[in-house]
Amino acid sequence: MNFSSYKRTFMGCMTLLLSSLFTHAQGQVDPEKPLSISQVWQLTDSNSRKIQMNNLEVLASEASIKVARSERLPEIEANGVLAHIFKMPIYENGLFHTPSQYPVEPKYYKVSGDAYLNLYNGGKTNREIAASKTENELAIAKKNLSKQEIHFLAAVYFYDVYRNQSYKTLLLQDIKDREKQLHEINVLYKNGTVLKSDVLRAELRLSKQRMMLTEIENSIHIAEQKLNLLIGRADDTPLKPLISENETDPVLIKGLANYLAAGQSNSFKLQISEKEQKLGALKLKQVKSNVLPSVGLFGEYMLAYPQIQFVPYALAPYSNGMAGIKLKVPISAFYTNKHKVKVAEIKLHQQEVEDEAVKDNIRQEVQENYIRYTESLKRIEVANENIKQAAESYRIVQNTYFNQLSLLTDLLDAETQLLQSRFELTTAKVNAKIQYYQLEKAVGNL
């Protein structure tokens, strides 16, 4: 790589670093303010270490294109030699007798330069440039795939925090209601209306609810830390998900055929497979070109002292140069290259089969996520209906218990069923949202 290529690469890296620092500075959000999912994704794009590594990978691939293009430029070399030449012994009477010392000029220097300009090498340079461009496109596709996978992971953590915070809100209200109910049961016990066992059962239920609250709070902290690590914030930074009233409502989606078509055209996995297949084809052509001759222009020039290359010798500086056309024919490649070609053909065929497998997997993934999303919408409907039924059941049992027409166990079961139904509705809405993002990720739209 020449100096200008190093300079451009260095400037590119500095630009990325400064941009990352600027974006990071912009992305510092007040931890007390709620965060929306779009803000979380913005923080992820600027602070995720994996995305930063992918950006550097793209920069490196762009520099590789410049390196490949520089192969078109002439190769120029300069050499210099400064030496002391020792006397030359001549063994006139054999190796085991003292030789005569033939005097030679002890000083020697040589300054030379040569250049070579490739005219034809079987198209290898053009294919190297094409391969570098394809590798750059491959790096971009991998970066985009990694970016949407991180977006999905951030969404999972984000809605995990939201779900558990919703659980906490429901449970705090339930604990408040149960404390009030326990007070009423204690009043009935003092009046001799209910047994001590009812009081103990109610206290045990309240104790379990408080333990569940602790578990939910711990789950919130764990999910917050995972998300904070992903978006570049301190581990213990609290998170307040900003979710609008209709954000968890079902999203109207297109038909399955539209999603399958989008998956075949937008999926980054398919783009990666196609670029790898293209690289395999270029590799095969490159190997096949090993048997082709190479032709180039060359030139050499030197200045040396003393003149000891031609007869008669002279103790004086001299110069010499030549220029012409150089032809190189790799004869041995005609019998050694066939195995390399066979290996390249097998690898290309393997990549073609892999490309078909990727297309099959994309269709399967899109269809599965589409079906699961429609299923999640049905779960929301069922959960809403279950809440209505559980609320009515709880109302009836509560009235009958305090009128001494039912047992406390019936009341506790009704309370549990109502709380569980509310939990299930929250879970169904969050799962539907995550399933929607998974469908979008499968078709490359996340």
C-alpha of 322 from chain center: 54
> What per-residue confidence (pLDDT) applies to 49?
87
Strand stretches in 306-438, DSSP E: 318-328
Residue in 373, 429, 385 with CA at minimum distance from that of residue 252: 373
Taking the C-alpha atoms of residue 170 and residue 420, their distance in angstroms, rounded to an integer, is: 10
pLDDT tens sequence for the chain (446 residues): 444 444 444 445 444 444 444 444 444 556 667 888 888 999 988 888 888 899 999 999 999 999 999 988 999 999 999 998 888 888 888 888 888 887 778 888 999 999 999 999 888 899 999 999 999 999 999 999 999 999 999 999 999 999 999 999 999 998 998 888 888 888 888 888 878 888 898 889 889 989 999 999 999 999 999 999 888 888 888 888 888 767 666 676 788 888 888 888 888 999 999 999 999 999 999 999 989 999 999 899 999 888 877 777 788 888 889 999 999 999 988 888 989 999 999 999 999 999 999 999 999 999 999 999 999 999 999 999 999 998 888 888 888 877 777 788 888 888 888 888 999 999 999 999 999 999 999 988 88
Locate 30 and state its tokens.
């007040």
Instruction: Decide if 194 contacts 185 (C-beta within 8 A).
Output: yes
CB atoms within 10 A of CB 74: 12
Contact at 8 Å (CB) between 119 and 5? Answer: no
d(CA 191, CA 186): 9
What pLDDT was estimated at residue 245?
Answer: 67
3-state DSSP assignment of residue 362: helix
CA distance 49 to 184: 56
Dist CA 52 CA 258 (whole Å): 33
pTM for this predicted structure: 0.78
Q: What would the two tokens of residue 436 be?
A: 């929607």
3-state secondary structure of 319: strand
Q: Which residues of 133-159 are buried (b: 16+ CB within 10 A; e: fewer)?
A: bbbbbbbbbbbbbbbbebbbebbbbbb
